[in-house]
């Protein structure tokens, strides 16, 4: 609460919420919320849990060079990570699940965090693919240049590509040339004060070990295809929840919304991606001609449907682990 990053996230969320609420017809919004058919949320939650299971399988696959952990054992840990991301700032759930994995399976935190970074980079690449697939249609609608009063989708795609493809290239090179990576690591550690060098080398070597799954083109392809399946399943939830409301857009439009929203949530924000989820999602739907009140009610309900079930499930699994958040910093980051 005392860190400036926390308050920066609050300020950014407040700004995005202001963009959403400043011209919103609250009466029409509330009417849409009241008349929605919420039975459609049930299959939406079901397909979302399938996506979480696929994430657990992907993490199991990435961790195989370190330790073979069954997918069934990974699923509760992934749910805990989601819960942590949803209620703590700065995606702290990623660290939390690495800590829980170490407690349960003895996998070093630095090594498992390397696989988590790989996951996030592949997720970003798939999100960019979702955007690129739909840029032509957005241009036809006249909305590719400007959403949300100046949010340029083409610029997001360009800068996002530089970040994610650049990071992916760096990790692939580090994985495929381990000897050169070790030399670079030793050189970088040598720049640190003497008392920190051994620790930095140890953490760095374990991190490089976590990249071992990227040394095979077949395994890279497998991780990429699994990531595509994960995000198509998550888009499936967008599609099911859409049927609760009085509008219809194509599955491809929802893929675009999913891509834009999840890239936007990489911006620092309040816990749970408040504002950074809603503003770009509503803007994409409005670009497809969905009325503001309908787009807003759908996006807010969708966010709750994405947030609440997995947060509750993660909290349940965390309680079963017998670990409290205050204990996490005390874990040895080995």
HEC string for 50-100: HHHHHHHHHHHHHHCCCCCCCHHHHHHHHHHHHHHHHHCCCCHHHHHHHHH
Structural domain total, the chain: 1
Segment 43-95, tens digit of pLDDT:
999 999 999 999 999 999 999 999 999 999 999 999 999 999 999 887 889 99
Question: How far apart are alpha carbons 44 and 40 in whole angstroms?
Answer: 7
Q: What tokens were used for 187?
A: 């050189």
4 in any annotated domain: no
Segment 298-308, tens digit of pLDDT:
999 999 999 99
Q: What is the CA radius of gyration of the chain?
A: 21
Average of per-residue pLDDT across 305-316: 96
Q: What tokens were used for 65?
A: 């060079």
Indicate if the pLDDT at residue 3 is higher than 80: no
111 in any annotated domain: yes
14 in any annotated domain: no
190 in any annotated domain: yes
Question: How far apart are alpha carbons 45 and 139 in whole angstroms?
Answer: 32
Question: How far apart are alpha carbons 96 and 329 in whole angstroms?
Answer: 9
Residue 332 binned pLDDT confidence (cut-offs 50, 70, 90): very low
321 in any annotated domain: yes
pLDDT of residue 141: 65
Give the range of the structural domain holding residue 88, as residue numbers without chain letter: 40-330
More confident of the two residues 14 and 204: 14
55 in any annotated domain: yes
Provide the whole-model pTM: 0.90
323 in any annotated domain: yes
Residue 142 binned pLDDT confidence (cut-offs 50, 70, 90): low
148 in any annotated domain: yes
């Amino acid at each position: 609460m005392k860190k400036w990053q926390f308050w920066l996230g609050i300020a950014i969320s407040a700004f995005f919420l202001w963009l959403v609420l400043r011209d919103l017809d609250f009466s029409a919004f509330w009417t849409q919320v009241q008349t929605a058919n919420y039975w459609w949320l049930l299959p939406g939650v079901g397909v979302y849990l399938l996506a979480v299971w696929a994430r657990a399988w992907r993490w199991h696959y990435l961790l195989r060079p370190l330790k073979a952990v069954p997918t069934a054992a990974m699923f509760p840990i992934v749910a805990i990570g989601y819960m942590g991301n949803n209620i703590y700032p700065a995606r702290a759930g990623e660290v939390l699940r690495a800590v829980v994995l170490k407690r349960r399976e003895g996998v070093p935190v630095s090594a498992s965090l390397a696989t988590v970074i790989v996951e996030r980079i592949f997720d970003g690449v798939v999100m960019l693919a979702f955007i690129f697939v739909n840029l032509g249609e957005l241009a036809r609608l006249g909305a590719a240049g400007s959403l949300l009063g100046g949010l340029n989708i083409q610029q997001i795609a360009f800068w996002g590509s530089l970040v994610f493809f650049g990071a992916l290239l760096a990790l692939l090179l580090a994985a495929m040339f381990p000897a050169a990576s070790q030399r670079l690591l030793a050189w970088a550690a040598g720049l640190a004060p003497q008392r920190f060098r051994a620790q930095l080398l140890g953490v760095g070597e374990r991190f490089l070990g976590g990249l071992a799954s990227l040394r095979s083109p077949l395994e890279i392809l497998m991780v990429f295809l699994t990531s595509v399946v994960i995000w198509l399943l998550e888009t499936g939830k967008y599609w099911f929840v859409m049927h609760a409301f009085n509008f219809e857009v194509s599955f491809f439009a929802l893929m675009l919304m999913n891509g834009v929203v999840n890239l936007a949530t990489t911006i620092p924000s309040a816990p749970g991606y408040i504002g950074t989820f809603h503003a770009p999602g509503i803007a994409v739907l409005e670009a497809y001609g969905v009325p503001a009140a309908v787009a807003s009610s759908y996006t807010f309900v969708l966010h709750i449907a994405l947030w609440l079930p997995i947060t509750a499930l993660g909290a349940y699994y965390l309680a079963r682990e017998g670990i409290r958040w205050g204990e996490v910093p005390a874990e040895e980051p080995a």
